[in-house]
Structure formats: structure tokens, C-alpha cells
Structure 1
Amino acid sequence: MEAFVGTGVALITPFKEDLSIDMDALANLVNDQITNGIEYLVVLGTTGESASLNPEEKELVKETVKKANNGRLPMVLGIGGNNTAAVVEELKSARLEGFDAILSVSPYYNKPTQEGIFRHFKAVAEASPLPVIVYNVPGRTASNILPETINRMARELDNIIGVKEAAGDMVQAMKLISVVPEDFMVISGDDMITLPMTLAGGKGVISVIGQGLPKEFSEMVRLGLQAEVSEAYKLHYRLAPSIELIFAEGNPSGIKSLLAHKGMIQNHLRLPLVEASEALQDRIGDFLKRF
């Protein structure tokens, strides 16, 4: 589990103008993360527009990232959904060589009870050959995994090693950290409250802005883990405006705009997502010039 302490990044999927996958840009992005101090990579999460990739494209993304990484950093693969049987089947049949853990989102749209969520993840944990990190993101799933339910998973399901907590609720995050076993990882899924969560006992973050400003963001997290509070908050306040900007019109439109401004990708998304507005793109560009 030490492999997932610090900063992981939820990688985007770069597209060319014809909306095919830009494998060169993806490989370059991976190398940039490694060069700038990121601790691990998260592949095919929400930020990677996994919902609009077909199975062949997902395999292409996996292989591109694996080749570029070349075993240098731990890797986490996103496999989740709201059909428990389908998730279980995917876990049993997926090619998982080179990956170290699974990130699995709580079932969306169905709005299961806490018992339903627990049973879903029990099935996922039993089917997965790799350790599982639960992803709680109520803003996308329409249901919140309560701290009591996460604690139950932590104590009853050996294969679940942590949670990416993205409810954006610092009180809930602190309660969660206080009730789970000490070796269970509470990982921030909200860039803006990553530092206070880490200082409260969290293990770091799976980040979006981290791939746009990897050197500074990963250093902030390391300082937080070392309880270097003043220095960590100096970086937090430098970074905070960028976090507001990249989420102003949704994810990953903002981070793709930032990376395009840096010359790392072409700024294309697949419908139903669209590029950030010109006004927001200008603001992101202005931020980078000042930063």
C-alpha cells in the first residue's frame, strides 16, 4: 500500500483532431508525470473519458501507458460500473498485467442503499485479482458512501485497501479517517481539499490538476505528509486558482485546456463533453503565464 501514498494522477486520454487516440501525446504525458515527481498513475478513470472509449481503445490506452511507464511507477486501472455482474465479469476477464490495483467507482444512477453498495463492493473484492480502491464521488453517482459503510468494507473485505474520497466534505473526510483501521488508505479525490485531508491523516490524492502542474502539486502533498504545514500551504495557495479554473466547466475540459496551453496535447474531447469556452481557456492561459 505504500505505493499509493502521495500523488497519483488520473490521466486524460488525448485525442487528435479526428478524435482518434493520440498515443504519442499520451506517452509524453506519462513521461512528464514521472519526470516531475508523481508517485503513481491512474488509467481509464473518469478523467480519461473512459465512458466514451470502446473496448479496443481502452486496451490501446492501457498498452500505451504501460509501454511508456516501463515499470517505473505503480499503476491503478479504473474498472467500475452500475451493473455488478458486468463489473465482476470484466475483472475476471481483463488483462491486468502491469497494474497494481483497481479503482472502482460506486454504482451510479441506480442509487443503491448502503447495504446495496456494500454488497456490490463485496462482489468486486471477491472477483478482483488485484487490491481494490473504492471511489466515492456523490456528485457523479447520486449516492454517497457513508463512513460507516467504508469502515465496514475496511474491516470485512480484505481485498479493499482504500477509498478515493471525493464527496468534497471535509467533515465527512475527517470522520472517515477517524473510524477506519490505521492501515486503510483514505485518499483525497478532491484537489482543493487534498492538503487539509492529508494533514488530517489522509494518504495523499488521486488528482486531476496534478498532471497539469505535477512538480508543484506532488511537492505540496509530500510536504503535507511530512507535516510541513507552512510550506505546504504556500504551495496550496499558489495552486488553488488553477483548481478552481479547471473545474469551472467540468472535468476533463479544464485540464485538457491547461495541457493544451502547455503544448502537451491537442484540445479535443468526445461528445457529450466539449472543450472549455474561449473565455475560460483565456483565463487558464493567463494563469499559466503568471504561474
Structure 2
Amino acid sequence: MHTFYGTGTALITPFKKDHSVDYDAFKNLIEFNISSGVDYLVVNGTTAESATTTKEEKAKLLEVALDVNKGRLPFMYGIGGNDTAEVLQRIGAANFKGIDSLLSVCPYYNKPSQAGVVEHYRAIAAKTPVPVLAYNVPGRTGINMSANTSIRLSEIPNIFGVKEASGDIVQALEIIKNTPDNFLVISGDDLLAVPTIAIGAVGAISVLSNPYPGKFSEMIKAALQSRFQQATETLMTFTEINPLMYEEGNPVGVKSLLEHLGICTNEVRLPLVKASDNLKNRIAEAHKKIKA
């Protein structure tokens, strides 16, 4: 699965002022990322506000993204949830033409045991016609997929890796140490991407690569080529702006930055609300310090 080395952009879903999907802005964002050098695209992940887009919108977003991409970059699509049967139903109803892999988040809210998490992914892997990337993000799901759980997932056919966003680099180290070389660990935390690559991760699925696809991709490529001084210097330019992306919820911050760059509006759907004026101003100031 060298296909998913490097930078994957966790694409946002742009909205118009009336909160309908802005498909034209979505097309422009995808083209911006492709032309700037990211390695693959991720559609319908958490950053896409998948919790509040409809089934019809998800289908249209997928159609638009595939049409714009035209096979130029590998394509990852998100289908996940906390009802295993419902996730399997959606996978069964999906058309995977043009989709290279599935991103599926650890089940949330139910707080299953680690054994339950493993069985959830086992069922998904058996149903999905493309390779599956598990996604550990305890800040959203309420549970952490332990290192041992990810190690067990590596033994399941059709699961090729884990997007690790626990914020625990020791956990990432344990996974990398105890899984086969072809089981990929991908950073789900932009600021931990470089140090996680240093211990064996293969890249990042990024929020910051929405507004900074070229700069972020160059940083990841430098790290993967063991040019860590260069990668770290770039990483340091992101340390001020990155926390602002999450201060009032994701993708509130990144949409504010994208509006500042003229790429889309900063509209989000309830229960999220647009960035406060205070946050918008601090994002704009932090952006001035970055040479994109």
C-alpha cells in the first residue's frame, strides 16, 4: 500500500451562506490540492462534517470528487459509525469504482470493549471490496484503540493500517514495532507527523494541508527522505496556527483560514458555529507568519 505514503488531505465540505453544499468551491479545493502536490485525497472524513451531511450530499460529494480527480491521485473514502450493521449496509450499497481504500473510524459513543472494536473492524474488512484503514481518534470517539488492538487489526486480511490520532507517540511506537512492515501507521495529528515518521510512520492525513497543501506536503516528503532538519523547520512554522484549527471545533478553524485565503466561506452546520471574531483575527495573524 505504498499508494498511501505521504500526505493525504482530509478535505473539508464547503458550504454556501444558506448552508447548502458549495460544489464549485469543493472542486476548486480539490484542484488546488492536486496541483500543489499532495499524494492522495480523503473524502467524507471527520473534517468533512460527515456527521451533518445527508446521504444524498455524500453521494454527490463523492461523485464530484472522483470527477475532478479523474484518477490522478489515490482516493480514500470515509464510511464509519457506531452501529456495525448500519455501516455494513452503507458499504454494501456503495459504488467503489474509483475508490482505492476505505477510512473507517473507531466506533464512538457506545464505548465498546477492545474486543468489540476488533470484531467491528473484522466485519467491515470482510464486507469492503477495497483495503481498509482503521482510524483511532479518542478525542472524538470517547475510547482509545489500544496499541494491542491495532496489532490485532494488523492480522486481519484487508486492513492495511491505522490512522493514529491518539496523540500518544509511545502508542504509535508500540504499533510500529509489533506489526508487519506492510501495516501502515499514518499520523492523524499534523504536529506529530514528523516525529511519528521518524519512528516509522509513512505520512499524515492532514487538516492543515487544506490551506497549505504544498508546504505541508514538502514537510512530509522531507521527513520521509530523512531530511529531518528541513522537515522540523517547516513544522515549527505551523506550531502557532495548528492549535487554532481546533480551539472552537474542527473544521471551524480551518474553514475560517480557508475563507481568509478566498477558497470558500467559513460556514459550518449546527451544532458547530462559525469561528468567533477573536479566533478569526488570531488565525489571520498567525497566517501572516507562514510563507505558504
The TM-score normalised by the length of structure 1 is: 0.98
Shift of 1:272: 0.5
Q: How does 1:161-176 map to 2 (within 5 A)?
A: 161-176=160-175
Counterpart of 2:262, as a letter, is: G
Partner of 1:290: 289
Partner deviation per Cα, 1:171-226 (whole Å, 9 max, x = no partner): 11111111111110000001111110011100100000111111111111001101
Aligned pairs, how many?
290
Partner of 1:91: 91
Partner of 1:80: 80
Q: Does 1:217 align with 2:216?
A: yes
SS in 1 for 2:7: strand
Counterpart of 2:105, as a letter, is: V
CA distance in 2, matches of 1:55, 1:230: 45
Q: How does 1:195-206 map to 2 (within 5 A)?
A: 195-206=194-205
CA distance in 2, matches of 1:133, 1:69: 21
Partner of 2:31: 31
Partner deviation per Cα, 1:18-51 (whole Å, 9 max, x = no partner): 1111011000000000111100000001100111
- Structure number with the higher helix fraction is 1
CA distance in 2, matches of 1:134, 1:82: 13
SS in 1 for 2:8: strand
Counterpart of 1:234, as a letter, is: E
CA distance in 2, matches of 1:211, 1:199: 23
Partner of 2:142: 142
CA distance in 1, matches of 2:247, 2:194: 20
Contact 1:217-1:239 within 8 A present in 2 as well: no
Q: How does 1:174-193 map to 2 (within 5 A)?
A: 174-193=173-192
Counterpart of 2:45, as a letter, is: G
Please list every run of 5 or more consecutive structure 1 residues that lacks an aligned counterpart in the other structure.
none
Partner deviation per Cα, 1:257-282 (whole Å, 9 max, x = no partner): 01000000011000001111111101
CA distance in 2, matches of 1:12, 1:96: 21
Shift of 1:290: 2.7
CA distance in 2, matches of 1:290, 1:183: 38
Partner deviation per Cα, 1:132-151 (whole Å, 9 max, x = no partner): 00000011111111111111
Q: Does 1:278 align with 2:277?
A: yes
The TM-score normalised by the length of structure 2 is: 0.98
Partner of 2:117: 117
CA distance in 2, matches of 1:87, 1:37: 32
Partner of 2:259: 260
Contact 2:147-2:174 within 8 A present in 1 as well: yes
Counterpart of 2:140, as a letter, is: R
Contact 1:14-1:22 within 8 A present in 2 as well: yes
Shift of 1:289: 2.3
Contact 1:44-1:58 within 8 A present in 2 as well: yes
Partner of 1:245: 244
Counterpart of 1:9, as a letter, is: T
Q: Once superposed, which parts of structure 1, at least 4 consecutive aligned residues long, lie more than 6 Å away?
A: none
Contact 2:136-2:145 within 8 A present in 1 as well: yes
Counterpart of 1:59, as a letter, is: A
Partner deviation per Cα, 1:36-88 (whole Å, 9 max, x = no partner): 11000000011001111111111111111111111111110000000001111
Partner deviation per Cα, 1:225-272 (whole Å, 9 max, x = no partner): 011111111100012212122122220000000100000001100000
Partner of 1:67: 67
SS in 2 for 1:8: strand
Partner of 2:104: 104
Contact 2:237-2:289 within 8 A present in 1 as well: no
CA distance in 1, matches of 2:143, 2:244: 26
CA distance in 2, matches of 1:168, 1:2: 24
Please list every run of 5 or more consecutive structure 2 residues that lacks an aligned counterpart in the other structure.
none
CA distance in 1, matches of 2:85, 2:172: 30
Shift of 1:287: 1.8
Contact 1:209-1:242 within 8 A present in 2 as well: no
